[in-house]
Every structure is written in structure tokens, then in C-alpha cells.
Structure 1
Amino acid sequence: MPWLSDVGDAAVRLAATMPEPLRKILRALPPQPPSFVLARLLDRVLLPRLDSPARAAWSGRVVQLDLDDLGLRLRMRLDARGFGVAPAGASPAVTVRSTSAALWRLVRGVDDADRLFFERALVMEGDTEFGLLLKNTLDAIGPLWR
């Protein structure tokens, strides 16, 4: 899916220039539709690269991703079938806040998580041990997209 890199780059450019009325519409969306899209994408690019211990450690844990520039909140968890939308009432074990541009740089391997954390472009809150497990697992896997 090499075309997805172009789509991601275009989405980041769109986020940077999006008019405020459109941002308000995005903020009003329920989290389930964009979370579903992210879960399907993670099933394709991340799940095959997770080993059994990582899958076991992540299983059932809710991860919330807040894209501040878009006003989107994405909530997912891993179970035996793969990534899915987290139930509405489930508390996140970890919340990651970022902009779409910073997240895309991380996913593409342009910047590493430590640099983005240091610059406060990526903020993680919640279960510190689980957050470090996520970060270290993703660091070991390397860029998810090139």
C-alpha cells in the first residue's frame, strides 16, 4: 500500500490548513468511526509485527489517542481477533496526545518517540509501566510506515 504514504502526507497538510468550522465538525464526531478505521489499519501494519508476549501484555488494555490539531479522539484495544474499538465506558490504560503531524513523523520513522516526548509534541498519560511497554515495543519494531 505505497499510496497510503501519499494519503498520510496529504492528511497532515489538510490538518495544518483546515478551517475552524471543519475542525468543529470533526470534534463533534463520535470516536467510534475513526477508531474503527485506525483499528483496521493497525491490524494490517502493526499486529503482524507484534510477538506473542507483546500481544498478551497489550490484550484488553485500552489505548486512547487524542489528535489535538483535529480534535479527534481514537480509542482502541487489542483482543484475540485483533485491534478493535474500545467500549465507550472503558477507561484508557494510556492516553497519548499529539498532533497529526508529529504522529505521522513517528509512524514514518522521521522522528523517534524520545525526541517527540522531549519536545512535548507527544504526551503520554496514565499507566507508566504500560506506556513504557508500548513505547519500547514500538521502538523495537521500528517505523510502521515508510
Structure 2
Amino acid sequence: MSQGFSIPRFRLPGLVSAIGAHLPQWPHSLALATALNAAAKLGLLPEDSLALLEGRSFVVEVIDTGGQACFRYRGGLFRPLFTAPQAPDLCFRANLSAFLQLLARQEDPDTLFFNRELSIVGDTELGLVVKNMLDAVEWPQLPTLPIFRH
């Protein structure tokens, strides 16, 4: 990400969430599980932490889009769940801007959590494992797009 560029805090209009909640959710689950498997295969996710996820189910809910992704880690792979688990082991809830800030490392999970922009519900120990795993990820440096150069 270019210096000087930051993702602002925003909330999408309620209509987006109202429509998004009525759309099929399985594509989100499939896309996130595929991305996580790619990150694991590239060695971006620590193997010792991945072993601690075995058999656990997760839900990632993007509040202002009405979307959610559900997956389980089993047998060394993230596997999409096509229906939400009744009681997932861990559930993350936030608006799109908070997840984008987290992904861009503009904000850390602790700050978002304490500012009540990120909700984490479920197994506390598992939540700490996932947080530490995300903190340890060394994202590859992407080239700067010409539109962001000064």
C-alpha cells in the first residue's frame, strides 16, 4: 500500500445489508476457504498454528454487506461450510471497512476490538491463536500501482 493512502472508516447503506443477507452465502465461504488454502500453501500461515485449528469451525460476518463466510479446518485444509454452524468455535463480526483496515494492517485486531469495531465470539484461546497467527503473517510486498505514486 502506498504511503499516504489509508482506508477510511465507513459503513455501507442499510440497503446493501438487507439485500446481501438474502443472497446465497456459499460463494463467500468458498472464496475465503480457497484464499486461506492458497495462503497456507504459500507458507504465509504458520504450520504449528494451523495444527491448532484442526476440526474447528469459523464464521466471518461482514455486517454492513449482509455477507458471511463459514468454514472448518480439517485434514490440513480450510473447507467451506455451505450452511452456518449452529455454534461455531469462533465468529468474527465487523463492517467491511474494519476488515479492510485489518487486511491492510492499517489497524490491528486489538484496536478494532477495543473500539468495538470488531466482535470476536467463541473460544477465547482459539481467538488468541488466530490473532497471533494473523499478526505473524508476512504479507508479500505488492507493487505500487501508478495511480498511487506521487
TM-score (norm 2): 0.75
Q: Does 1:82 align with 2:73?
A: no
- Per the alignment, residue 39 of structure 2 pairs with 45
Deviations 1:70-94 (A, max 9, x none): 1112111222352221253633101
- Kindly tell me the number of residue pairs found equivalent between the two proteins: 135
- Per the alignment, residue 114 of structure 2 pairs with 118
Contiguous gaps of at least 5 residues in structure 1 = 3-8
Q: Does 1:102 align with 2:98?
A: yes
Tell me which protein shows more helix as a share of its residues: 1
- Per the alignment, residue 6 of structure 1 pairs with none
Distance 1:95 1:104 in 2: 17
- Per the alignment, residue 67 of structure 1 pairs with 62
Which structure has the larger Rg? 2
- Per the alignment, residue 25 of structure 1 pairs with 19
TM-score (norm 1): 0.77
1:24, CA displacement in angstroms?
2.4
Distance 2:58 2:115 in 1: 22
**Structural RMSD (CA):** 2.8
Q: 1:87 to 1:16 in 2, by over 3 A?
A: closer
Q: 1:92 to 1:72 in 2, by over 3 A?
A: same
Q: Any idea what SS the aligned residue of 2:37 has?
A: helix
CA contact (8 A) 1:106 1:112 kept: yes
Identity %: 29
Structure 1 segments of 4 or more deviating over 4 A?
15-19, 142-146
Contiguous gaps of at least 5 residues in structure 2 = 2-6, 143-150
Q: Does 1:127 align with 2:123?
A: yes
